[in-house]
Amino acid sequence: MNRPFTASDKEEYFSVIPISEWSSQKYSSGQRDPAWGRFSQDRFRVFTARQLESISQIQRLSPEQRFSMKVVSSVLPFRVNHYVISHLIDWDNVPDDPMFQLTFPQPDMLATEHFDRIADLLKRDAPKTELDAAVTEIRDDLNPHPAGQQELNVPKLDGEPVEGMQHKYREIVLFFPSQGQTCHSYCSFCFRWAQFVGDKDLRFASNEAKTLHNYLAVHPRVTDILLTGGDPMVMKTRNLIDYLEPMGEDPRLEHVKNIRIGTKSLTFWPHRYVTDPDADDLLRLLESLVEAGKHVAIMAHFNHWQEMETDIAREAIRRLRDTGAIIRSQSPLLAHINDNPETWARSWRTQVQLGIVPYYMFVERDTGARCYFEVPLAKTWDIYRRAVQKVSGLGRTVRGPSMSTEPGKVEVQGVTEIQGEKVFVLRFIQGRNPDWVQRPFFARFDEKATWLSQLKPAFGKSKFFYEDEYQAMKEGRVAIRSV
């Protein structure tokens, strides 16, 4: 397949990857990095469900395949841009190509009864009100806000709920800037799909930068702020400045040491850091935060090594690292995309080579198209174990497999046999009660289980150690100690 602007596997990367000899003055002086001239400025073009048939490559597919895409995209959000279509997808390998699976709807992403219901409505050209009602019912059945996001994670300031914010763990606050509640493309597995379907009741968002700063100012135990979405990197730099610049200047926020930005832009639109009109302004902002003593972490979502193979993606990575920001990678393990150890091992090796820190392997969340992407915990752990064996210690920084559950972030540490019983060994990486963290516990082995809620305590116990306290938290009888 011809992929323009793609790095050769045999290329020497010393001219692309290492931090430039230019000092920080290259961004503050307004001068362009010499490498910038190798890339032409590209206009961002996007396709949604309404433009699905206008994507020329889609015409290669059968009418049945195209109709299936229409059915699924009526329920789950669809958005893709021309860079992904032209440079990341191998159209000779469709539908098996992992980037195609990552971005385009597949029929089995909906349960059979849901798919058939929507297909029937579309075939008989049912009234929009009838179709919308069916879509709403199906979405409600897909657990749009897992892990207690709307019930337990919303913080308060002066006794009032703070919109567009979550505070689940003591040290970190998640903030959803309203200008960043979309993405350059949508991942078909996205656990935040409810942000993108146009239902305000399902959406977290805030445009109140002052509220964010005031909340952080009165919570001195918070050390980390995570800008998330959607994707904050769809925002103009001037908007990011409003939220982030005070982190390095406001003395009330001195306790906020770490600034994280969750983004898929290095995959879906690396031009954001290279040729976009305000790319240098963005890099200058990140650099200023580093110079102010903040740890700036780009939480990059890489689901497959193919995403890091284009020249412009590697140049974006180089430019980001040149600001002093650290890029950390994370991804769920996904059927049809990366459910084998070779893919993970190659991804981690590539990331280490490019200066990215492998950070998390997640378990696919219990929401949206989980029926299509979920992998049993036993298989997930086995893939993780075998993949880690294939990389050096620099790639073994990755933690996982990790489930972001209601009580906290639970890691599957292994499968073993204790006193004649086969068990999962689990631990909290994060917990609503910080005292739960790093405390091992055990669940009966279940080869089909895909989530914590499907596991049963081992050794004849009726409950896991945290369950009574967590239930009391949900009922308001015990304060959530993480806030």
Angle at 133 between CA 130 and CA 137, to 5 degrees: 140
Spatial distance between the Cα atoms of 123 and 125, rounded to a whole number of angstroms = 5
b/e sequence 145-160, b meaning 16+ C-beta within 10 Å: bbbbbeebbbbeeeee
In terms of Cα–Cα distance, which of 459, 466, 464, 463 is closest to 482? 466
Q: What is the pLDDT of residue 141?
A: 87
In terms of Cα–Cα distance, which of 374, 482, 472, 370 is closest to 463? 472
Q: What is the pLDDT of residue 199?
A: 54
Spatial distance between the Cα atoms of 117 and 138, rounded to a whole number of angstroms = 10
Spatial distance between the Cα atoms of 361 and 386, rounded to a whole number of angstroms = 13
Distance of CA 385 to the CA centre of its chain: 22
The residues near 133 (Cβ < 8 Å, ≥ 6 apart) are: none
- First-to-last CA distance in the chain? 51
Spatial distance between the Cα atoms of 36 and 34, rounded to a whole number of angstroms = 5
Domain positions in the chain are: 17-140
Residue-level pLDDT, tens digit, the chain, 483 residues: 333 333 333 333 223 333 333 333 444 444 555 555 678 778 899 999 999 999 999 999 999 999 999 999 999 999 999 999 999 999 999 999 999 999 999 999 999 999 999 999 999 999 999 999 999 999 988 877 665 555 567 788 888 888 888 898 989 999 999 888 899 999 999 877 666 655 555 444 456 889 999 999 999 999 999 999 889 999 999 999 999 999 999 999 999 999 999 999 999 999 999 999 999 999 999 999 999 999 999 999 999 999 999 999 999 999 999 999 999 999 999 999 999 999 999 999 999 999 999 999 999 988 888 999 999 999 999 999 999 999 999 999 999 999 999 999 999 999 999 999 999 999 999 999 999 999 999 999 999 999 999 999 999 999 999 999 999 988 887 766 555
Peptide bond into 230 cis (omega under 30): yes
Strand partners, 430: 409
